[in-house]
Structure 1
Amino acid sequence: MFELDVPYAREHLRIRLPEQDVAGVLLGHQNEYKRDGTQEELIESALDAPFDSPTLEELAQGKRDIVVISSDHTRPVPSKVTMPILLRRIHEAAPDARVRILVATGMHRSSTHEELLHKYGEEIVAEEEIVMHVATDDDAMVRIGTLPSGGDCEINAIAAQADLLIAEGFIEPHFFAGFSGSRKSVLPGVASYKTIAYNHNGGFVHDGRARAGVLHGNPVHRDMMAAARMANLAFILNVVLDGDHEVIGAFAGDIQAAHQAGCSFVRDLAGVSAVDCNVAITTNGGYPLDQNIYQAVKGMTAAEATLPDGGVIIAIAACEDGHGGEGFFRNIAEGDPAAFEAGCIERPADQTLPDQWTAQIFARILAHHPVILVSDRCDHDMIRAMHMTPANTVDEAIALARTLVDGDARFAIIPDGLGVVVAR
């Protein structure tokens, strides 16, 4: 009997299958990688020797208005580890500067006080100035230029007016930007909803180069990098995480050079080959990335990449926050997925709907694959409304999947759908 525990919220669920039914396990090598030193030592070393950049201390000297863009509560960036180190170095180099943490929510909701405490710890929340980005607040935005694709680049004025803008984040495969990290701190992180929508337009998302692990020729990535340069993002600290969300790599410095080094590191660890299967079981790596269906789509794309047309996806994600966005929910629930995807592709970039991009990818998946969502914490009627079949347990989902395939079921297991780049 094959048995494997996979992440679910802050816990784990067990997959049990007969050995002969398992086509393969698509697992990156992040958990096998042995880091050289503690998490803190890796970060300190990266900051001591940045890629193609002066040190953070050199950049901070003489500055009066320093802004640190930080990922929000939906990302597993270990800010309790990274942020104290960044802030200590900044305060020592520029003791008289105003230093603000700008939380890069993109189009997500604002973080709660409890989520900020969980992310940064009590001391930083109590003593540092933390500002939530709100993409829909037009009065808080300024235009800084034009994207290569032609859209206006509008970002949070706090970021645009800083005399030193830096960012912390992490690098993992991203389902249409290629990889996360670096330039995503600006777009979508602290950009206007109008700029985000333009960059995430249906044509770009449909482009065959807008896929996990692909940067070269990726139109989404191109616009994002241009926005970061226009914003004068001067320095990044990006980390790479293992399955326990601990730092195994740290890359600091220039937004392109440090990001490229980090992406190469991730690509070497995350690359896996597709297997011949008709059912794929995937997760979103547990909390915080499986908090809602919107985020869970990312894990589904890994399953999509290894399945034939019509193959069944079993997505294990708690989705305690529900669908993750009213616009996203309506886009999927109020029509036929295939028709919605086609409409997204044809829609002009400046008419992109709110939350269209993830809904477009989800619609693409639903048009070609039955999806079973394993969750005992999410409204099952809502799951059904979004064209999926709910299951309370993994065993229940496996039994359902067997009824949906022709012949014998062959299962691919993807313990962390966000941690792999699947190649055929």
Structure 2
Amino acid sequence: MATIKIPYSKGFVDLDVSDKNLLAILESKAHHFKTDEDQVTIARKALENPIESPRLKELSKGKNNVVIITSDHTRPVPSKITLPLLLEEIRLGNPNADITILIATGFHRLTTEEEMINKFGEEIVRNEKLVNHDCRDKSSLVDVGILPSGGKLILNKLAMEADLLVAEGFIEPHFFAGFSGGRKSVLPGVAAGTTVLANHCSKFIASEYARTGILDGNPIHKDMVYAAEVAKLAFIFNVVIDSEKRIINAFAGNREAAHEKGCSFVAELASVKAQPADIAITSNGGYPLDQNIYQAVKGMTAAEATAKANGIIIIAAACNDGHGGKAFYDTFLENATAQIIMDKIMEIPMEKTIPDQWESQILARILINHKVILVTDQCESKMVTDMHMLHAYTLEEALKMAYEIKGADATVTVVPDGVSVIVQS
């Protein structure tokens, strides 16, 4: 009997799988990556040795209006470590710089003050200027052109008016952008809702290149790179984290070169070989990524990549914040089958993309081919079943349900942290 720790909420839950059933455990090597340096040292070294760029303290000289784009409450960027270092570096070059920290909410809800304190720390929240990006507030946005895809490029005014635009974030595999980090701070991070919708259209989401770990040929990535260029994103500071959300590496400097180097590092650690099984079990990496069903779709794609056709996917995600998007929830509530949802979405042109359509499209794709059991004790069971999934309160209960469907001898592949791996066929 194997006991496997699965990230859940702010801790872990144990999963017991019989040796006769367990086929494989697929984990990113990042979770076992060892370094002798502490997190601050790793981060500071990256800032002091930027990739294809002058140091940030040099870039900030003479720049009085500086904007730092940072991730919102749904992303585990260790900003309590990274933001003070960024602020220190900017002020080394220009002690009098007017600095705005712009929270990249993308298409998400706004980050609350309590969430800001939890993420950035009391000192930064009380002493620095923080602004929530609001993709629906037209007064805070400016039209800056057309994306390569043809969609309108509308970005946050504060970002566009900055003398120096900087972004912090983290790099991990991303289920349709290839990797997070870098250019993603701008699009979708500080883009208008209409721009996000165009970039996340059904045609792009359906592309074989819009998959985890793929940048070349990825139409979503291409738009994002262009948006970062138009915004004149001058410097990025991206970290790589392990299963305990601790920094194991950091990359700073040129928005493309530093990001590419970081993605290469992550790909080397995160790539695992698929082990097709009757039952694939995963998580969304725990807090903060498992706060809602919307985000949990990411982890499901890792299980999808290693589940046999008509196999069962079990995902543990707290979903304490509910569905994560009303349009997303309503799409499943109002349609009888996942296939109906998929057919409707594929008929929607880019310019008429609706909110959360991309997440609905990916979940529908998964549900067409697999039964999904969502494990949570922090979310209403009806909400889960309304979205065409089965619900279980514990992993033990979910696995028992899966064996009843697939048989007692069913094979099991476990992907403990679904958002940390690139599952390759």
TM-score by length of 2: 0.98
In the other structure, the counterpart of 2:108 is 108
Name the CA distance, whole Å, in 1 between partners of 2:218 and 2:333. Answer: 29
* 1:119-168 Cα shifts (integer Å, max 9, x gaps): 11111000000000010111111011211011110010000110100000
* Residue identity matched to 1:345: M
In the other structure, the counterpart of 1:344 is 345
Name the CA distance, whole Å, in 2 between partners of 1:156 and 1:35. Answer: 38
Are the counterparts in 2 of residues 135 and 192 from structure 1 also a CA contact under 8 Å? Answer: yes
In the other structure, the counterpart of 1:295 is 295
In the other structure, the counterpart of 1:322 is 322
Are the counterparts in 1 of residues 20 and 409 from structure 2 also a CA contact under 8 Å? Answer: no
The 5 A counterparts of 1:155-234 are 155-234=155-234
Compute the displacement of 1:67 (Å): 0.1
Are the counterparts in 1 of residues 285 and 418 from structure 2 also a CA contact under 8 Å? Answer: yes
Compute the displacement of 1:407 (Å): 6.5
In the other structure, the counterpart of 2:285 is 285
* Residue identity matched to 1:341: M
In the other structure, the counterpart of 2:420 is 419
In the other structure, the counterpart of 1:8 is 8
In the other structure, the counterpart of 1:380 is 381
Name the CA distance, whole Å, in 1 between partners of 2:253 and 2:345. Answer: 37
3-state SS, counterpart of residue 214 of structure 1: coil
Structure 2: runs of 5+ lacking an equivalent:
none
* Residue identity matched to 1:364: R
Are the counterparts in 1 of residues 165 and 233 from structure 2 also a CA contact under 8 Å? Answer: yes
Are the counterparts in 1 of residues 57 and 91 from structure 2 also a CA contact under 8 Å? Answer: no
Name the CA distance, whole Å, in 2 between partners of 1:6 and 1:151. Answer: 40
* 1:164-187 Cα shifts (integer Å, max 9, x gaps): 000000000000000000000000
Name the CA distance, whole Å, in 1 between partners of 2:327 and 2:276. Answer: 36
3-state SS, counterpart of residue 309 of structure 1: strand
Larger deviation: 336-345 or 140-149?
336-345
In the other structure, the counterpart of 1:355 is 356
* Residue identity matched to 2:22: V
Name the CA distance, whole Å, in 1 between partners of 2:310 and 2:149. Answer: 35
In the other structure, the counterpart of 1:397 is 398
Compute the displacement of 1:5 (Å): 1.6
Are the counterparts in 2 of residues 36 and 42 from structure 1 also a CA contact under 8 Å? Answer: no
In the other structure, the counterpart of 2:97 is 97
Name the CA distance, whole Å, in 2 between partners of 1:129 and 1:223. Answer: 29
Aligned length in residues = 424
Name the CA distance, whole Å, in 1 between partners of 2:136 and 2:10. Answer: 31
* Residue identity matched to 1:415: P
Structure 1: runs of 5+ lacking an equivalent:
none
Are the counterparts in 2 of residues 203 and 344 from structure 1 also a CA contact under 8 Å? Answer: no
* 1:192-245 Cα shifts (integer Å, max 9, x gaps): 000000000000000000000000000000000000000000000000000000
TM-score by length of 1: 0.99
Name the CA distance, whole Å, in 2 between partners of 1:340 and 1:36. Answer: 50
Compute the displacement of 1:406 (Å): 5.3
In the other structure, the counterpart of 2:370 is 369
Are the counterparts in 1 of residues 64 and 98 from structure 2 also a CA contact under 8 Å? Answer: yes
3-state SS, counterpart of residue 310 of structure 1: strand
Compute the displacement of 1:62 (Å): 0.3
3-state SS, counterpart of residue 223 of structure 1: helix
* Aligned: 1:52 with 2:52: yes
Name the CA distance, whole Å, in 2 between partners of 1:338 and 1:239. Answer: 39
Compute the displacement of 1:403 (Å): 1.6
Are the counterparts in 2 of residues 65 and 98 from structure 1 also a CA contact under 8 Å? Answer: yes
In the other structure, the counterpart of 1:262 is 262
* Residue identity matched to 2:352: Q
Name the CA distance, whole Å, in 1 between partners of 2:286 and 2:37. Answer: 26
3-state SS, counterpart of residue 75 of structure 1: coil
Name the CA distance, whole Å, in 2 between partners of 1:354 and 1:404. Answer: 34
Are the counterparts in 2 of residues 141 and 154 from structure 1 also a CA contact under 8 Å? Answer: yes
Are the counterparts in 2 of residues 203 and 346 from structure 1 also a CA contact under 8 Å? Answer: no
Larger deviation: 86-95 or 190-199?
86-95
Larger deviation: 25-34 or 165-174?
25-34
* Residue identity matched to 1:250: A
* 1:379-418 Cα shifts (integer Å, max 9, x gaps): 0011110001110111100010012225721111011000
Name the CA distance, whole Å, in 1 between partners of 2:343 and 2:58. Answer: 50
Are the counterparts in 2 of residues 3 and 14 from structure 1 also a CA contact under 8 Å? Answer: yes
3-state SS, counterpart of residue 339 of structure 1: helix
Compute the displacement of 1:36 (Å): 4.3
Compute the displacement of 1:358 (Å): 0.9
* 1:329-368 Cα shifts (integer Å, max 9, x gaps): 1122211211212222231101001110111101111111
Name the CA distance, whole Å, in 2 between partners of 1:88 and 1:289. Answer: 29
